[in-house]
Structure 1
Amino acid sequence: MNKTFVSYNNIVSSLGFNSETVVENIRNEVSGLKLIDNKNVLPEPFYSALINSEELEQAFLKLQPKEDFTRLEKMMITSLNEVIQSSKIELNERVGFIISTTKGNIDALDENNPFPIERAYLSELGKNIKEFFSFKNDAIVVSNACVSGILAIAIAKRYIQQNTYDHVFIVSGDVVTEFILSGFNSFQALSNVPCRPYDKNRTGINIGEVAASVLVTNNSKNLSNNAVEILGESSCNDANHISGPSRTGEGLYRSMFSALNQANLKTKDIDYISAHGTATMFNDEMEAIAINRLELQKVPLNSLKGYFGHTLGASGLLETIVGMHSLFNNTLYASKGFETLGVSKPINVITKTTSKELKTFLKTASGFGGCNTAVIFKKINQTKNHV
């Protein structure tokens, strides 16, 4: 099989509008979560990580749009433009395009939204972003709950290895809306304080918004300095419950096991795990069980939800980009909000930002409907010093 790489990347978030700024804020343990008091969205104040609307508008207008776009489309276009420009790749027939999202333009269903309700269709989101950049191929929309972002990387790799495309651009995003917040609130899953993944005092999730973009390519030349090789990937559905994960972590265990087999690696070859870590009682417990079943419990692990909240379908791609920078910087970033282990099995949660020589990392994600995805990445550039 030809090698496949994840290269140029961008994050548009509450912590900044480029990956380097975002990672620097994470290194300094700065969180984008803020207390939001907006009774039009939720009756009670809630913690969320929201993108600054004025900054987004300024950044987007620099691209000289010729028509109106939704908030999510502005986020995605702003992020993806940076990656396309950096890569210098011509958008011909050998270039694929994937959008990953859980809810897309769900705010088009809101009563006072200026866009027609048809804008909520995921196909419309794909068409609008495809046309903005003049991609030759239609957008492939990956909408598989909260694994969508990382699953998009696995799908891009498969397209390239099947010789359908040479390059695939991925943009991932979700926005915070009344619809999404009220849904999680009805599950009694929202925390009224900043979330604390894997901590014994965790009380649930915070919802955040982000757009993130990467290039997946078969070209080993002209890669970004923080590029990684995709060694193995797998996705497995445990079919346990519409919203609850398998209590034994079966789907996640099988995904990680298959990804390791495909990569031809042993558990001792994994230097770091970028985990899902939503800070709900069931998710964190399930992950700890699955990690122990595969004897990965000593591998340093973090959840980035304490910095961004849960950004739904974008979380897997966002966290992959941070993982790429983690390898390049030889730095393990603290899992914000964690103090005391609150799961039944031992896991090695990173409590403080630490320098360490890193070569590989495992990214995992799990979501509603029983979906689970695991992808293993390897550092290419070995020249960066500790940060």
Structure 2
Amino acid sequence: MTPLHLSFFTATSCIGTGLDATLAALRDQRGGLAPCHFGDVKLNTCVGEVPGLEALALPPELAGFDCRNNRLALLALEQDGFASRVREAVARYGAQRVGVFLGTSTAGVLQTEMAYRQRDPQTGALPAGFNYAGSHNPFSLPGFVRTHLGLQGPAAAISSACSSGAKVFASARRMLEAGLIDAAVVGGVDTLCLTTLYGFNSLELLSAQPCRPYDVNRNGISIGEGAAFALLERVPAQVADDAILLLGIGESSDAHHMSAPHPEGLGARLAMEQALASAGIEPSQVDYVNLHGTATRSNDAAEAQAMAALLPSTACSSTKGATGHTLGAAGAVEAVICALALRHGLLPAGINTTQRDPALLVDYRLASSMQPLQYVLSNAFGFGGSNCSLLFGRGDSGDASNAASRH
């Protein structure tokens, strides 16, 4: 594929608001998971909550979009000057030439949960102020971002479970390559709600401790909330050495089971192979893999089999031990973490993991290190076997000049 440029990006999660805070937490191996005190939830688990969202107000003209998910989206959009950079892109290309492709798994379902608690006891009617289209509807997120940023290009919500925030890059790439847009806002947002907390609890997948990916004693996930955005554009003629390029994308579908991955990691391996092949990169060139690494027994084992078959000696870790599993936002949050890793030469540790499972034959890193990185791979695998892998590289990797010569 023709490389694309992540010209600007930002992320907010329980480890920090914006890039500087996120990078500092990764360098310090500091996580944001804590015992759950969300609403009136009574579960023995840890979550990654972003503080202050209850008090955050949307602008009056956007009140119809009000929900926890869109409040987090607004908080993230205003970090690192991201919203201003998008508006500069509008000035360059025109509002109709900037697309919006965003991933989410539950959107503003919390708003619906609260509305059902306030039904009329006689008629069962929902509160008059409840606005499904502006909150719970999956398109609420791209609709809100599109309106807030003044965009008029194609827009779509991608809801493919935990691969949602990665697959948006593929959707944007297809639009860019078709010549329908000149830039795209891509990313993902997911927030805490009762549906996911009690749902994963019913599957017996929640850990009582901060999750421990790839640990011999791993026993489940920690749900987090997060938001990440990137502005995706064609590669310009001149790019900085530390520019971040999207070089390859791989998508696959196990269709093995509704909630369990293929036991041999077939879909995961196919997605990683496709990402490398589309970039023309050999497995030996990859410096780091940000694993999907949910800390469940079956998911980590399946992904490890795929890694052992394709990238057995490549350094890897799961940053979900720090952020928790941000579900539909995970692919976008971890893509930004990969961008930070490339830009700053940081190989992030998988925190909370203390004893690597010897049955998982991968080079899982327990301590962060500073070293030059050229290529990194980010994995996002979802329920139903929806898989996506993204390969990123630096501007000085040699691929930037090759991309510019194709235009």
The answer to whether the superposition gives a TM-score over 0.5 is: yes
| 2:302 is the counterpart of 1:286 | yes
| 2:5 is the counterpart of 1:5 | yes
Change (3 A) 1:226 1:34: farther
The residue aligned with 1:235 is 251
Q: Out of 329, 333, 342, which is 1:314 matched to? A: 329
The residue aligned with 2:50 is 51
Deviation of 1:39 (Å): 7.2
* Contact kept? 1:327, 1:359, Cα under 8 Å: yes
Q: In structure 1, how many angstroms separate the alpha carbons of the residues matched to 2:196 and 2:317?
A: 25
The residue aligned with 1:66 is 61
Q: Deviations over 1:313-372 (max 9, x none)?
A: 101110111111111111111110122222624100111111211100011111101111
Letter aligned with residue 25 of structure 2: N
Letter aligned with residue 297 of structure 1: P
The residue aligned with 2:169 is 153
Superposed, 1:90-129 pairs within 5 Å as: 90=90, 91-110=94-113, 111-112=116-117, 115-118=130-133, 119-129=135-145
Moved >6 Å (runs of 4+): 221-225
3-state DSSP of counterpart to 1:127: helix
Change (3 A) 1:162 1:39: closer
Deviation of 1:126 (Å): 3.1
Q: In structure 2, how many angstroms separate the alpha carbons of the residues matched to 1:32 and 1:265?
A: 34
* Contact kept? 1:7, 1:223, Cα under 8 Å: no
3-state DSSP of counterpart to 1:172: strand
Letter aligned with residue 3 of structure 1: P
Letter aligned with residue 103 of structure 1: T
| 2:260 is the counterpart of 1:260 | no
The residue aligned with 1:270 is 286
Letter aligned with residue 363 of structure 1: S
3-state DSSP of counterpart to 1:213: strand
Deviation of 1:56 (Å): 6.6
Q: In structure 2, how many angstroms separate the alpha carbons of the residues matched to 1:184 and 1:304?
A: 20
* Contact kept? 1:195, 1:337, Cα under 8 Å: yes
* Contact kept? 1:37, 1:46, Cα under 8 Å: no
* Contact kept? 2:271, 2:388, Cα under 8 Å: yes
Q: In structure 1, how many angstroms separate the alpha carbons of the residues matched to 2:186 and 2:207?
A: 31
Q: Calculate the TM-score normalised by the size of structure 1.
A: 0.91
Q: In structure 2, how many angstroms separate the alpha carbons of the residues matched to 1:109 and 1:55?
A: 16
* Contact kept? 2:164, 2:329, Cα under 8 Å: yes
Identity %: 28
Q: Deviations over 1:159-206 (max 9, x none)?
A: 212212110012311011111101000000000001000000111000
Q: In structure 2, how many angstroms separate the alpha carbons of the residues matched to 1:297 and 1:219?
A: 31
* Contact kept? 1:100, 1:314, Cα under 8 Å: yes
Q: Out of 194, 210, 214, which is 1:194 matched to? A: 210
| 2:367 is the counterpart of 1:352 | yes
Calculate the aligned-residue CA RMSD, in Å.
2.1
Q: Deviations over 1:223-278 (max 9, x none)?
A: 78853112111100011000000001110111111111111111111011011000
Q: Out of 393, 397, 402, which is 1:378 matched to? A: 393
Q: In structure 1, how many angstroms separate the alpha carbons of the residues matched to 2:145 and 2:130?
A: 16
Q: In structure 1, how many angstroms separate the alpha carbons of the residues matched to 2:167 and 2:143?
A: 21
Which piece of structure 1 moves more, 256-265 or 187-196? 256-265
3-state DSSP of counterpart to 2:211: coil
Q: In structure 2, how many angstroms separate the alpha carbons of the residues matched to 1:170 and 1:38?
A: 28
Letter aligned with residue 46 of structure 2: Y
Q: In structure 1, how many angstroms separate the alpha carbons of the residues matched to 2:173 and 2:333?
A: 17
The residue aligned with 1:29 is 29
| 2:183 is the counterpart of 1:167 | yes
* Contact kept? 1:99, 1:171, Cα under 8 Å: yes
Superposed, 1:219-230 pairs within 5 Å as: 219-220=235-236, 226-230=242-246
3-state DSSP of counterpart to 1:212: strand
Q: In structure 2, how many angstroms separate the alpha carbons of the residues matched to 1:222 and 1:31?
A: 37
Paired residues in the alignment total: 376
Unaligned runs of 5+ in 1: 383-387
